[in-house]
Chain A
């Protein structure tokens, strides 16, 4: 209760995606980090570089797309004022 979740983790939970599934998608689109590191990122123990974070965003957004939703997770180079 009251805990602040990383938006990536929030999205993962909303999608009911396991960390393992997220890792596979992330790995497929070119990610290099291990599953354990991804878990650490999701729980705020590791801070990813913007490109790494974007790969996780892609992995989650592509799942959102499959479910008919546009990319709800912002990318690092999205215009900030939009």
Chain B
């Protein structure tokens, strides 16, 4: 699993009375900074305006990674909030110093093993991880969300966790996205919510699908009185769900998915909750926009594999041409480029033809 991971980024989150602790593990660089910024900004709200970012698990950071903090400090200032960086390594400290960011945040040492609230941490569920995962719990913060499927999913997981704990009557929150033409739940606060999403995909109907299809909100105040989605609604009621709020996730005006909040109460969501839902879906949308809506981790991986295959073929073809034409390594690249141009095809296609011709020759020899 961990070998084909393109990104290395993990989040943990924990809410305290008026502050929120976000633990980050992995690499903070150009590739991940914007998504980290989106995720950090999503955790800031008027109730939790003091943000503590535990960077004990950060293995690499550069100036672009520090930009994530600059962005969240800007968001915090109007709220009168603060940003504290915890467990910073020497590397992290230095990058903050070099980029003149040190004055905008406070630094604190790693927490001793008995943190706030007297052992409350022991109750925080831990998701078992791969051996090479950064142990966020050890860095002083309970990890509620942990994702290794990619930076986008990790960030969306964080938004989901924040929404679940901020929206008053929320019993579960999930994010649905379309990937490879299929709807899937990429982040969920618990398994029951995943199942609810699954019922919608299976029956092909429900507020989440409608929000995604129409690019607008759906607030079902009481499922008992609901007559749209006749196949899905009974399944939801069976699981004790009575209100659902689904908000579309938009990138460039195109709906990509939905943020779904489920509650066991009727008329669960106040105007404030609806505003919060709008805020969270806007933040999730921002994360998707930043990450590029077209490219999922899978697609990046495919592109990489395709490029590596092409390189391999070109390398083989160069070997063949060197042997056939007695060329040196310096001249062979140029010869291949010229031959491809003459044949009116790309270097990749021509190289594949050269390699194939060798296989044909070999086959002919074996048949002799």
Chain A positions within 8 Å of B, measured between CB atoms, are 24, 27-30, 51, 54-55, 58, 61-62, 65, 71, 75-77
Q: Which residues of B contact A77 (CB under 8 A)?
A: 331, 334
With A24-B303, A75-B334 as known contacts, state yes or no: A30 contacts B315, CB within 8 Å: yes
Tell me the minimal C-beta distance from B271 to chain A in angstroms. 43
Residues of chain A contacted by B344 (CB below 8 angstroms): 65
Residue B346 at the A interface, CB < 8 A? yes
Q: Which residues of the other chain, B, contact A28 by a CB distance below 8 angstroms?
A: 306-307, 310-311, 348
Chain B 271-310, CB-CB to A under 8 Å as 1, else 0, gives 0000000000000000000000000000000010011001
- Provide the bound-state CA to CA distance between A28 and B315, in Å: 11
Chain B residue nearest to A51 (CB atoms) is B333
Q: Is B314's beta carbon under 8 Å from chain A?
A: yes
Extra pairs beyond A54-B337, A61-B341, A76-B334 (12, CB < 8 Å): A24-B307, A28-B348, A29-B310, A29-B314, A30-B315, A30-B333, A51-B334, A54-B334, A65-B346, A75-B334, A75-B337, A77-B331
Nearest-Cβ distance from residue B310 to partner chain A, whole angstroms:
5
A55 touches B333 (CB 8 A): yes
Is residue B132 contacting chain A, with contact meaning CB distance below 8 A?
Answer: no
Task: Specify which chain A residues have a CB less than 8 angstroms from the CB of B333 in the assembled complex.
Answer: 30, 51, 54-55
Q: How far is the CA of A20 from the CA of B315 in the complex (A)?
A: 23
Q: How far is the CA of A75 from the CA of B334 in the complex (A)?
A: 8
Taking the closest CB of chain A, its distance from the CB of B62, in whole angstroms, is 11
Question: B339 → chain A, closest Cβ, in Å?
Answer: 12
The CA-CA distance from A37 to B330 in the complex, in Å, is 21
| Contacts between chains A and B (CB distance < 8 A), count | 39
In the assembled complex, the CB of A82 is this many whole angstroms from the nearest CB of chain B, namely 13
Interchain nearest-CB distance for A72 vs B (Å) = 12
Interface size on B, residues (CB 8 A): 18
Contact A29–B348 (Cβ < 8 Å)? yes
Query: B347 interface residue, CB < 8 Å from A?
Result: yes
Query: In the complex, which residues of chain A have a beta carbon less than 8 angstroms from the beta carbon of B330?
Result: 51
**Which has the most chain B C-beta neighbours within 10 Å: A24, A54, A77?**
A77
Report B292 CB to chain A, min CB distance, Å: 10
- Top 3 nearest A-B pairs (CB, nearest first) are A28-B307, A28-B310, A77-B334
Residues of B contacting A75 with CB < 8 Å? 334, 337-338
User: A residues within 8 A CB of B310?
Assistant: 28-29
Provide a sorted-by-A list of 26 A–B residue pairs whose CB atoms are within 8 angstroms: A24-B303, A24-B307, A27-B307, A27-B311, A28-B306, A28-B307, A28-B311, A29-B311, A29-B347, A30-B311, A30-B315, A51-B330, A54-B334, A54-B337, A55-B333, A58-B337, A61-B341, A62-B346, A62-B347, A65-B344, A65-B346, A75-B334, A75-B338, A76-B334, A77-B331, A77-B334
* Minimum distance in angstroms from B175 CB to a CB of chain A: 27
Residues in B with CB closer than 8 Å to A65 are 344, 346
| A71, closest chain B residue (CB) | B341
Across the interface, which residues of A come within 8 angstroms of B303, CB to CB? 24
Closest residue on chain B to residue A77 by CB atoms: B334
Kindly provide the distance from the CB of A24 to the nearest chain B CB, expressed in whole angstroms: 6
A62 and B349 alpha carbons, distance in the complex (Å): 11
Name the residue on B nearest A32 (C-beta): B311
Q: Decide: B337 and A30 in contact? CB cutoff 8 A.
A: no
Contacts of A61 in B (CB 8 A): 341
Chain B residue nearest to A27 (CB atoms) is B307
In the assembled complex, the Cα of A28 lies from the Cα of B306 at a distance in Å of 8
The CA-CA distance from A42 to B344 in the complex, in Å, is 27
B187-224 near A? 1/0 per residue, CB < 8 Å: 00000000000000000000000000000000000000
CA distance A28 to B333 in the complex (A): 14
**Which residue in chain A gives the minimum CB-CB distance to B315?**
A30
Complex Cα distance, B348 from A58, in Å, reads 11
